């Protein structure tokens, strides 16, 4: 297996080329002794349901997984909570304002960006929106649509973690958790 930091050739602290594998999740610089640990990036995924038990679904405008279905969401910015990120991403992608937010679960993922595998932990949130009148696809979303929860097909979702999340939502729906 290729080390997750194999593309990192130089120490990010001192620039030395003596930056070698330390263990399966870190590299160490033999010149300045800096240890760099490869940790997951944090991301959020929003589950927004309308009063007809339909889930708001986005079509991806860009790669990875361009033109496949997705749920609104994205990476958490520095100095931002997961809840703030979910609200921001929803507003950026849909123009909707979140009234309340509740953590559901998380799923690890590998997100291919610019030919680099970004390991993420995708945190799923149930987001309550009261007003859908401003709904409009924007940012990296080409289309927004509502799909009845029981008609969601996990195979239509291009990102693995979102596909697994939809499977989990459907499984939980059998017990009426959403």
Beta bridge partners of 55: 49, 147
Find all residues with CB under 8 Å of 126, minimum gap 6, and list them: 47, 49, 101, 102, 104, 178
∠ CA 83-89-91, nearest 5°, is 105
What burial class does residue 26 get, using C-beta atoms within 10 Å of its C-beta: 0-12 exposed, 13-18 middle, 19+ buried? middle
In this prediction, residue 176 carries a pLDDT of 54
% of the chain beyond a pLDDT of 90: 83
For 73-85, write each residue's pLDDT tens digit.
999 999 999 999 9
> Of 143, 151, 167, 174, which residue is the catalytic one?
143
For 96-124, write each residue's pLDDT tens digit.
999 999 999 999 998 888 888 889 999 99
Mark whether 84 is an active-site residue.
no
In this prediction, residue 1 carries a pLDDT of 66
Of 37-41, 63-67, 86-90, 174-178, the least confident: 174-178
Measured distance CA(11)–CA(32) in Å, rounded = 9
Measured distance CA(121)–CA(76) in Å, rounded = 10
Q: Tell which wins on pLDDT, 4 or 149.
A: 149
What's the pTM value of the predicted model, to 2 decimals? 0.90
């Amino acid at each position: 297996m290729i080390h997750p930091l194999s593309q990192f050739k130089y120490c990010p602290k001192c620039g030395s080329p003596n930056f070698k594998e330390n263990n399966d999740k870190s590299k160490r610089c033999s010149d300045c002794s800096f240890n760099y640990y490869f940790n997951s990036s944090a991301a959020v995924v929003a589950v927004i349901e309308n009063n007809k038990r339909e889930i708001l679904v986005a079509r991806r405008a860009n790669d990875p997984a361009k033109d496949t279905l997705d749920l609104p969401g994205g990476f958490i910015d520095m100095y931002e909570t997961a809840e703030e990120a979910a609200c921001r991403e929803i507003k950026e992608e849909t123009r909707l304002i979140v009234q309340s937010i509740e953590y559901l679960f998380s799923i690890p993922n590998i997100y291919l960006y610019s030919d680099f595998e970004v390991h993420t932990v995708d945190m799923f949130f149930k987001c309550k929106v009261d007003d859908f009148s401003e709904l409009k696809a924007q940012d990296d979303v080409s289309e927004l649509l509502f799909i009845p929860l029981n008609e969601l097909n996990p195979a239509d979702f291009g990102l693995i973690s979102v596909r697994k999340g939809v499977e989990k939502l459907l499984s939980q729906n059998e017990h009426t958790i959403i």
